[in-house]
Chains A and B, each alone.
Chain A
């Protein structure tokens, strides 16, 4: 029993020491620096997994409570073709992506529309700020009642959840343009649309991408939670609640791992697009912040 625990503790101490050593290396070499920056968090992550495995095995935690990562990994490999891939299609490719696109897209259009009216901006912004702090997942049962059990109701939940953060951030971004730049555009005799496309939208991209990144995780949460309120017999949320009922905890964790991976990848893709679009922004252009 204690062999596993001792191994986990030793591994943790060794990894900690290694990390303390790695961050103290001063190097001029760019590639070496990147490698260190990557290695440190990776070592930390591996330590977490080894610690989990060691403690669960060492203390004989029943797998019903917490299965070790190796068991979860086996379960993922075994069940990719059958439950996981169809679940992923149903939840991620249908509910999340469709809802995310409609929610963010419509909020973007609405933001540009109300941006022309100071009155609407004054009135809608506080309301939007308030609504985006609300526990909007709560509308999931209502959406399931309205749009049925299939993915449309989940997409509707995602639309509502993603709409307000996007709206508030886009309006804030469109207001980020300084008076000097606007005056400059005026001296160029630029029209409303030219100013919007060439000055104000580029200035707003950092805000908009901030909202897109927040929404990427919100969308996944919304879709999975909405599936708890009724769903056809496929989908990640359905699989999680069904597997809990049968005490197949390794299946639950496998779905969670897939969801986490999908969420991180989604976030990562949005972040990559952000780097490409806002290449001029100080936080992207390199150099160390502070």
Chain B
């Protein structure tokens, strides 16, 4: 009993349950004014409590939908809708996911290439590194819709513009992490490679690269979350083209709060899945490379 109470899962579930309870409380508070005005117009008084609760949780456009409403909407649009039509969340999630994946791939490759250049060339290190950091203080996400529109007018449509935004957001953690990783071999190991008369390429492939792998996975986890945000925001202006971002925008135009929350839930699930997937690959790679568990 004590061990259950001290386990992490128990604590997390209690916190999650508490959050859901608070959510319900807020649902009641926030949806009450509208419900009361409905009753006032209908001339109903002394509505029984259960009736009131039922009405509160079944509004068409609630200010804050109750968790179970979001769950039902999520279920309907994931399981009960045909995945090839825009009514399905899977349809939108797939569009967002493909942009995220492509951008993340670009970003990771770009990040590794920049990190290799920075580690091997002092001039690059000095001149590039401050700008890599400064590039992230530019609120690129804020202009993401514009980049999409401009690239569309050049003829680049579909995935690429969104993927470019994801690239911009995800290359930064990879550069910073990999520069650290490539520099993580200790001097004694570099000296050992030197006594073996190893060439620069050999030092890179046999020493620097293996020691940078843990850093790569750590920064990939940050990068993939950033990519997803980039893809979603990049979808805001594309409107009908689909994706979780356009689903959010459509929901906000038509006051479909439940739809917004369901799309947010999908985005959360997507981001969690991506991070777990990278963690799984990390464990696998670690085992193949003979890391201690």
Contact = CB atoms under 8 A, between A and B. Distances in A.
Interface of A: 16, 19-20, 22-24, 37, 40-41, 43-45, 48, 64-66, 119-120, 122-124, 126-127, 130, 133-135, 137-139, 141-142, 144-146, 216-217, 220-221, 224-225, 228-230, 236-237, 240-241, 244, 249, 252, 256, 259-260, 263-264, 266-267, 290
Given A41-B131, A138-B232, A217-B137, 7 more contacts: A20-B123, A122-B8, A123-B12, A138-B248, A221-B142, A263-B138, A266-B137
B265 to A, nearest CB: 10
Q: Determine which residue in A22, A41, A229, A252 has the highest number of CB atoms from chain B within 10 A of its CB, and name it.
A: A41
Given A145-B252, A249-B150, A260-B139, A126 B12 contact: yes
Interface stretch (B72-80, B86-94, B255-263): B255-263
Interface in B74-131: 122-123, 125-131
Given A41-B126, A141-B249, A146-B63, A225 B267 contact: no
B11 interface: yes
The 8 closest A-B pairs by CB, nearest first: A141-B252, A123-B11, A224-B142, A44-B127, A123-B15, A122-B11, A260-B138, A41-B130
A45 B131 CA distance: 8
Contacts of B154: 65
Nearest to A214: B136
A58 B76 CA distance: 55
Nearest to A290: B183
A96 B82 CA distance: 41
Given A16-B123, A127-B16, A260 B137 contact: yes
B268 to A, nearest CB: 5
Contact of A41 (B127, B143, B149, B264): B127
Interface string B240-256: 00001000110110010
Sort chain B's interface into a size bin.
Answer: 35 or more
16 contacts: A22-B123, A64-B153, A120-B11, A123-B8, A127-B15, A134-B271, A135-B225, A135-B267, A138-B263, A139-B264, A141-B251, A145-B257, A146-B63, A220-B142, A225-B142, A228-B236
Tell me if B's interface is mostly helix, strand, loop or mixed. Answer: helix
Interface of B: 8, 11-16, 19, 30, 63, 122-123, 125-131, 134, 136-139, 141-143, 145-146, 149-150, 153-154, 183, 225, 228-229, 232-233, 236, 244, 248-249, 251-252, 255, 257, 260-261, 263-264, 267-268, 271-272, 275
B141 A221 contact: yes
Contacts of B248: 138, 141
B225 A133 contact: yes
A65 B130 contact: no
Contacts of A120: 11, 15
A240 B244 CA distance: 22
A204 B14 CA distance: 27
A241 to B, nearest CB: 7
B139 A224 contact: yes
Given A221-B142, A256-B138, A40 B123 contact: yes
Nearest to B270: A135
Given A23-B122, A134-B267, A217-B139, A241 B275 contact: no
A123 B153 CA distance: 49
Nearest to B129: A41
A182 to B, nearest CB: 21
A134 B19 CA distance: 16
A23 B139 contact: no
Contacts of B272: 130, 133
A146 to B, nearest CB: 7
A72 B147 CA distance: 16
Contacts of B232: 135, 137-138
Nearest to A16: B123
Contacts of A220: 139, 142
B152 to A, nearest CB: 11
A59 to B, nearest CB: 13
Q: Determine which residue in B142, B153, B225 has the highest number of CB atoms from chain A within 10 A of its CB, and name it.
A: B142
Contacts of B13: 123
A43 B149 CA distance: 32
Nearest to B149: A244
Contacts of A224: 139, 141-142
A141 B271 CA distance: 20
B251 A135 contact: no
A112 B63 CA distance: 32
